[in-house]
Structures are given as C-alpha cells and as structure tokens.
C-alpha cells in the first residue's frame, strides 16, 4: 500500500484520502518546506483545493537540506497532519505539495517555475536568520553569508533574497508580471522588510530598472501566521505510521489552533484562503504585534527560564508553580504595550494562550524555541520593552526575559555540561557572557554593547539595566 491511498487503521480521522489534486497545476513556490509550513499554509491550501479546485499546488524549495525533499518526494508530496485534540489524534492527509526541490542539487526547475506566468505567489518560511536584512534600515547586510555570496553571484544565488530577485528579473525579461512575495516568518512587518531587502539587493547588483519595476508592480503583503508546531520526532513517525498502516517519514504534529492574517495586496490571483479560515485585512501590524509580543515573547521567556531550570517541554514550565505567575505577568505586560484591536479582547487572547501553552498533548521543546535568540529577542522583547519604558508601563517582565536569555547564553548547565546556543551569533554571545565572568553588571554591559542587538534606548536606561541586572544576579545565585 502507498500513502496516497492509505486509510486510517485506528484513532479518529478527520479526512481520508479521497482528495486527488494530481491534475491541479502549480501556482505557488514555497521556500522552506519545514514543519511549520506543512502545519499551516500547506493545510490552508489543501483545504482550498479540496473545496474549490484551482491550480494552486505548491512547489516546495528546500534551500539547505536535501532530506525533506527526498522524504516528501518519496511520498509524492503527501504527508500526514496529526492534530492533537484533547480527546485524541485527528489525522489528515495533506496533498497540496506537488514536489520539493533541493536547491543545493539543482535550481533549474526552481527558476523555471519562478519565471512561469502560472506561478502567482512565492511564499516563504525560512526563519528569521535567513534574510540578511537589517531591521532598522531595511538595507541588506553585506556580511550575511547568503547575501555576500549572492552579491558576487547574482545569476546563481543561494539565499532567499537573491533567489527572489533573480526570479523577478527572469519574469521582467520575459514580459511576465511579478509574482506576489508572501513572507510567513515571525518578523515585524515581514512583507515590508522583504520588499526593502529585495529592492536594496537589486540596486546593489546595478539593476535599477528592475528595482523600479518591482517597486511599482510587485506586491509584498504583510502576514501574521500562528500555529504551534513541534519538530517531528521518531515517536510521532511511529505513532502515525502505525495508525496509517503505512510508513509516513514526515508527519507533522500540531495543535488544533491555527491563525493566518494576511494583508490583501496581491499582484494577480491568489487562492481563496479565507475559505479555509484565513483573515484578509488591510492592516496586519496590530495582529502581528499582538502575536509577536504576547505569544512569541512569552514563548521566549518560557524557553529560557524553562530550559535553564531543567524543563524539557513548554507544558512542564507551565506546570511549575514558581514560574507560572512570571509567565502570566509577561503576557499581561506585553498586552499593555499594544494598540487596541477591535476584533480581539486581549484578556481572552491571553487566557487562550495560557491554555495553548499548557496543552498536555503537545511536546514542544524549550530548547527548540530557545534557538536563534539574537534573531528573535528584538521584536519579541526589546521593542515592547522600549514601548513600555516610553509609556511608563511595567517593563520588568521584559527585563526578566532578557536576563533569562543572557543566562541561557552562558552555554553550560549548572553541572557544567555544555550545550550549543544554536544561534548565528553564538560566538559573540558566549564571549559576551564570558567577558563578564560572574559579575552580573559586567555581563549585562557586554550584551548591551553588542552591535545591532539591544536598542540604544534600553542600553541608556538606568532603570532598565538595573532590572536586568537584578534578574541575572538572581539566576546566577540560584
């Protein structure tokens, strides 16, 4: 038996395998076919294909690994979505991914599809660190490895910005309208940021006319994406394969909750994702601030405090009576920095978040969330802290989260066993911690002096520095 015609042997199942999209064409190229995409956009797209049909299948692109391409292609792009409900596991076969290209092997089909007038959308979940765009200026960071490579080799790019620019250039040359660039990473004003980076890159390779054309005709909608998706484990592969009666190498487990808010600004066609539950709005920023600050900011606090206290999963941190009040404080302080959103009562959103974090069926590792702190802390913790200080609101929870992150950056457990920070700025962070030895003030000073990380407003605030120092001194002592 093959996964395409698998039927579920046990447990509850939401949908079996009747859907067949093999005749639907490709309309989307998606960079980063990891767990999050497969629990989110690919599912919305599957649902729209099932409802309305259309040429909206996805060509996945993996920028670095070949594994996910091999695994998914070996199953005709089909995989199982396992939704952990309170009363069991819902399984659904997702069939919106046509196939996946590993860019390190060949880019021929990737650029053919990027240039094709049938492709309307290029979306991406490549994580915060992949872009190489400076937040403050929107300019490309020429020291970023992918940007540096692509500036030298604009006709054979390997990074996300270089590939988008070459894809758009091919379209311009062939008289095809630009595709819409839909960023689905947890970055503030993600669409605007990518647009600035793309335009700056085009200028940097002397493609002024291309930049003008993209600026005038392109579209880069902002979007807020949300679904808690732990990395796939061997246990999940076993559990799903058993329920399916056939091996699925790449199932995804996720929570029941899912949210997608998208700015309705597309060059040409788009799938009717609203029919699968997405919300199209004219302004995404308030939703994005809410999510980045209340969910992701709290997640980072949970991750650093939890990991350093020996908790493996988010749910374990939530069950720790000493830590839970600190987590609740953080969510509240984050909510206070937000502009009101008519559609959402922040207290209700907060209560829902607590339940989502507590979900006993989701094994979300604190170490997974702790990764890439230097790329996540600015929008999750530092910017809300600046707003809180400016508005005279409680800022201490953000100082505590900062202290917890700095403490994590020491890179070893209390028993001296080392762990990798898993951060592109790992060496700088470890050195900053070491430079202060065991002196909280000196360590904090070193972190605040790192370039392009903690905003100057915070580094200059005595009350902020004091609060972070108190938090860190406490961690160092206990």
Give the footprint of ligand CS2 on residues 401-460 (CB under 6 A).
Answer: none
Which tokens hold the place of 213? 């054309």
Interaction of residue 227 with ligand CS2, rule CB under 6 A: yes
Stretch binding ligand CS2 (CB under 6 A), from 147-155, 225-233, 321-329, 429-437: 225-233
Interaction of residue 296 with ligand CS2, rule CB under 6 A: yes
Which residue, 169 or 227, is less far from ligand CS2 as judged by CB? 227
Q: Which residue has the tokens 């500036």?
A: 151
d(CA 24, CA 95): 11
The alpha-helical segments, DSSP class H, found in 35-76 are 35-39, 41-52, 67-73
What residues form DSSP beta bridges with 83? 90, 254
d(CA 404, CA 418): 17
Give the footprint of ligand CS2 on residues 164-193 (CB under 6 A).
Answer: 186
Query: In Å, what is the CA distance from 340 to each residue of 298, 303, 343?
Result: 19, 27, 9
Q: In the sheet that 279-281 helps form, which strands lie side by side, from edge to edge?
A: 223-226, 259-263, 279-281
Q: Which residue is nearest to ligand CS2 (CB)?
A: 299
CA angle (229 as vertex; 287, 198 as ends), nearest 5: 55
Binder of ligand CS2 out of 37, 289, 293, 299 (CB under 6 A): 299
Interaction of residue 314 with ligand CS2, rule CB under 6 A: no
Cβ of residue 376: shortest distance to ligand CS2, in angstroms?
A: 6
Give the footprint of ligand CS2 on residues 23-42 (CB under 6 A).
Answer: none
What residues form DSSP beta bridges with 59? 29, 99
Give the footprint of ligand CS2 on residues 367-386 (CB under 6 A).
Answer: 368-369, 376
Neighbour tally for 340: CB within 10 Å: 8
Binding-residue total with ligand CS2 (CB under 6 A): 9
Which residue, 370 or 472, is less far from ligand CS2 as judged by CB? 370
Which residue, 270 or 299, is less far from ligand CS2 as judged by CB? 299
Which residue, 34 or 157, is less far from ligand CS2 as judged by CB? 34
Query: In Å, what is the CA distance from 291 to each residue of 133, 135, 225, 285?
Result: 21, 18, 9, 10
Which residue, 3 or 334, is less far from ligand CS2 as judged by CB? 334
Interaction of residue 253 with ligand CS2, rule CB under 6 A: no
Judged by the rule CB under 6 A, the positions of this chain that interact with ligand CS2 are: 186, 226-228, 296, 299, 368-369, 376
């Amino acid at each position: 038996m093959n996964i395409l015609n698998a039927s579920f042997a046990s447990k509850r199942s939401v949908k079996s395998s009747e859907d067949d999209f093999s005749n639907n064409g490709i309309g989307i190229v998606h960079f980063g076919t990891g767990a999050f995409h497969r629990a989110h956009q690919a599912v919305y797209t599957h649902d729209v294909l099932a409802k309305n049909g259309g040429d909206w299948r996805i060509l996945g692109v993996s920028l670095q690994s070949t594994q996910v391409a091999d695994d998914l292609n070996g199953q005709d792009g089909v995989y199982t979505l396992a939704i952990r409900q309170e009363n069991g596991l819902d399984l659904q076969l997702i069939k919106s991914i046509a196939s996946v290209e590993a860019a390190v092997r060949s880019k021929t089909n990737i650029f053919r599809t990027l240039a094709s007038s049938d492709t309307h959308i290029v979306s991406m979940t490549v994580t915060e660190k992949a872009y190489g765009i400076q937040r403050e200026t929107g300019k490309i960071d020429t020291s970023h490895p992918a940007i540096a490579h692509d500036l030298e080799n604009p006709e054979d790019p390997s990074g996300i910005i270089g590939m988008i620019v070459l894809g758009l250039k091919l379209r311009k040359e062939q008289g095809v309208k630009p595709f819409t660039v839909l960023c689905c990473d947890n970055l503030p004003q993600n669409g605007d940021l990518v647009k600035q980076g793309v335009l700056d890159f085009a200028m940097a390779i002397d493609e002024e006319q291309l930049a003008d054309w993209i600026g005038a005709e392109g579209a880069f909608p902002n979007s807020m994406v949300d679904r808690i998706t732990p990395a796939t484990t061997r246990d999940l592969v076993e559990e799903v394969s058993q329920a399916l009666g056939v091996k699925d190498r790449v199932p995804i487990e996720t929570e029941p909750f899912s949210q997608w808010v998208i700015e309705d600004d597309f060059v040409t066609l788009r799938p009717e994702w609203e029919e699968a539950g997405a919300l199209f709005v004219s302004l995404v920023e308030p939703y994005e601030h809410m999510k980045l600050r209340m969910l992701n900011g709290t997640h980072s606090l949970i991750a650093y405090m939890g990991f350093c206290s020996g908790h493996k999963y988010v749910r374990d941190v939530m069950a720790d009576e000493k830590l839970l009040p600190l987590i609740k404080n953080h969510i509240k302080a984050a909510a206070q920095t937000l502009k009101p959103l008519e559609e959402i009562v922040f207290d209700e959103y907060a209560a829902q978040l607590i339940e989502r974090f507590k979900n006993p069926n989701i094994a979300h590792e604190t170490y997974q969330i702790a990764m890439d702190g230097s790329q996540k802390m600015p929008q999750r913790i530092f910017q809300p802290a600046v707003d809180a200080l400016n508005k005279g609101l409680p800022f201490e929870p953000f100082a505590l989260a900062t202290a917890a992150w700095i403490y994590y950056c020491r890179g070893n457990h209390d028993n001296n066993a080392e762990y990798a920070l898993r951060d592109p700025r790992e060496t700088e962070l470890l050195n900053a911690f070491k430079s202060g030895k065991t002196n909280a003030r000196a360590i904090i000073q070193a972190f605040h002096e790192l370039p392009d990380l903690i905003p100057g407003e915070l580094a200059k605030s005595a009350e902020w520095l004091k609060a972070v120092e108190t938090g860190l001194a406490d961690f160092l002592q206990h």
